[in-house]
Structure 1
Amino acid sequence: MEKKYLSPINSQSVVQSVIDRITEGIIEGELKPGDQIPTEHELSSLLNVSRNTVREAIRILIAYGVLEVRRAEGTFVCDGFSTKMLNPAIYTIILQKEGSYEQLIGLRKIIENGIMLLIKEQGIEKEEWNKISERCNALVCELEKDPVDVEAAADRDIEFHNEIARATHNDLVLVIHDVVVQLSKSSRYRTIEKVIEKGDKQYLIDTHKNLLDKLKGENIEELYAAINNSYFYWKDIYR
């Protein structure tokens, strides 16, 4: 049976069409991680496009972490996740002039709610609970210092949320979560800084303890409310 991703292309945006065809082949399972793709010459002939077009499309997919070149072997579909795959999405958010912060908050909420729901559905081992609790305690200890090292506190906050994400045992979730962490790192710092300036560091302590408590509980609505409450100052820094 002829593979759909190798049918001739009749399009004005030929480079993007080649990119779309190859990624479609991966999504549909016609190309699997570790598979070698046809040669530049073969793709040019099969897709009815120039070799320069194929070369440019492959170059872009390599930059995105979708394909890789193995010396003296050829070009292959990457076998595993790479944060480079999500770089275009990162740049799209960064370069937006209006509404990007609100959208970032929305994205982070969706990811965090999804992570919590996945953990509730899958369950969690005692050892994982202990690790999450240790991360929470480390954050609390950092916040109880006088003066508070804002950068260190932000790092402990990230480690706490990273530990929760790891409890999903889902590599794709971890990749997307890592992107959100990269995008929100500076705003986490500013949020903690603002809370400290207002003399309300107890809010941060209580928020994270409550989040941990609700994650252990049975009521999913209370868990979502705890997550939403944790954004009070985070949203405020952009007003």
Structure 2
Amino acid sequence: MKDEYFKKIKKPSVTQQVIDSLTKAMIDGELQPGDKIPTELELAESMGVGRLSIREAIKVLVYYGVLEIRRPEGTFVCEGFSDIMLDPMLYGIILSKDKSLENLKELRLLIEVGVIKLAMDKYTEDDKIELMSAIEKFRIAVSKDKIDWMEIFEVDDLFHATVSKMGKNPLVSKINQLVRTLTRELRLQTVNNMVSIDEARTLYEAHVELARKIIARDRNNIYELVEHGYFYDKVDITRGNKDKK
């Protein structure tokens, strides 16, 4: 193992410096997926730091899904992508000081258009059946005498989860779910308001049109269609969720 990755650390935030050193070794290819990393004692000696700092750094990287501990063999670099790797990103966005509604709306639009295009490219006949089943559940929900706005929200969520699954890319699906988690309150408010002004069917029809586009693999005006389907003009963003029934 090359010493350049595990040289003595002189800066503060020792645990973070250890994390950075291990990360750099992985980025540069010195540590490959499946490789066993040096022992706690070896890392502590080569970096000139305490074993506690090494232990804490390893705990963080295990939590991130980058390292895994296999007892009694040792600690190894994980192979492949793990969903947990995106969790720190979620917390980072939630706690971001410059987070804004407009930024989240733009992020949602960018991701969802990409998800839809992947679905167009990769869907199978089974996927098509599943998508139409989601649309049928949406139709039933908006056809009831007394419409439950939360049920509408759930079938809306089902539709988008189905489209995401059709793209057959677990990484994209995870990022899409992350974005939908971040925008959940806005989506709840939109659906609630649409139902309260008797426009649940308008919401349904927008999804029918989107499903038609996907099945026809018609990319024309897809960006505009998705953006229009958010119905942000129906939402008073200053009210939050206090008017929910």
TM over 0.5, yes or no? yes
Cα distance change, pair 28–131 in 1 and its aligned pair in 2 (3 A): farther
Deviates more, 1:67-76 or 1:188-197: 67-76
Q: What does residue 196 of structure 1 align with?
A: 195
Name the counterpart of 2:95: 95
Structure 1 spans left out of the alignment, 5+ residues = none
Residue 132 of structure 2 aligns with which residue?
A: 133
Contact 1:105 1:235 in 2 (8 A): no
Q: Is 1:39–2:39 an aligned residue pair? A: yes
Query: Counterparts in 2 of 1:138-149, with a 5 A limit?
Result: 138-149=137-148
Whole-angstrom distance in 2 between the partners of 1:234 and 1:48: 59
Change (3 A) 1:127 1:150: same
Within 5 Å, give how 1:156-175 maps onto structure 2: 156-175=155-174
For 2:51 and 2:179, locate their aligned partners in 1 and report how far apart those are by CA, in whole Å. Answer: 37
Task: Tell me which amino acid in the other structure corresponds to 1:229.
Answer: H
One-letter code of the match for 2:177?
Answer: D
Deviation digits for residues 94-122 of structure 1, max 9, x if unmatched? 234554322222221121111123334x4
Q: State the shift of 1:236 in Å.
A: 3.0
- Cα RMSD, aligned residues only: 2.7
The structure in which a higher percent of residues are helix is 1
Counterpart Cα distance in 2 of 1:133 and 1:36: 48
Task: Report sequence identity in percent.
Answer: 36
Q: CA 1:212 to 1:78, structure 2 compared with 1: closer, same or farther past 3 Å?
A: same
Would the aligned equivalents of 2:65 and 2:82 in 1 still touch at CA under 8 Å? yes
CA shift in 2, pair 1:31/1:165, >3 Å:
farther
Check the 8 A contact 2:7/2:47 in 1, yes or no: yes
CA contact (8 A) 1:3 1:30 kept: no
Query: Does structure 1 conserve the Cα–Cα contact (< 8 Å) formed by 2:118 and 2:167?
Result: yes
Structure 2 residue matching 1:75: 3-state secondary structure: strand
Paired amino acid for 2:201? Q
Larger radius of gyration: 2
Residue 237 to residue 42, structure 1, CA distance change in 2 (3 Å) = farther
Query: Does the CA contact (< 8 Å) of 1:191 and 1:234 recur in 2?
Result: no
Query: After superposition, what is the alpha-carbon deviation per residue over 1:32-66, rounded to whole angstroms, capped at 9, x for unaligned?
Result: 44432221112223334332221221121122232
Q: Look up the match of 1:114.
A: 114
Residue aligned with 1:220, SS: coil
TM-score (norm. length: structure 1)? 0.85
Preserved contact between residue 44 and residue 51 of structure 1 (Cα < 8 Å): yes
In structure 2, distance between residues paired with 1:229 and 1:41: 58
Q: Deviations for 1:187-236, whole angstroms, at most 9, x for unmatched residues?
A: 32222111001111122111101111222345424111111111223883
The answer for unaligned runs of 5 or more in structure 2 is 239-245
Deviation at 1:79, TM superposition (A): 3.8
Q: Distance in 2 between matches of 1:25 and 1:170?
A: 28
Deviation of 1:80 (Å): 4.4
Cα 1:51/1:102, change in 2 over 3 Å: same
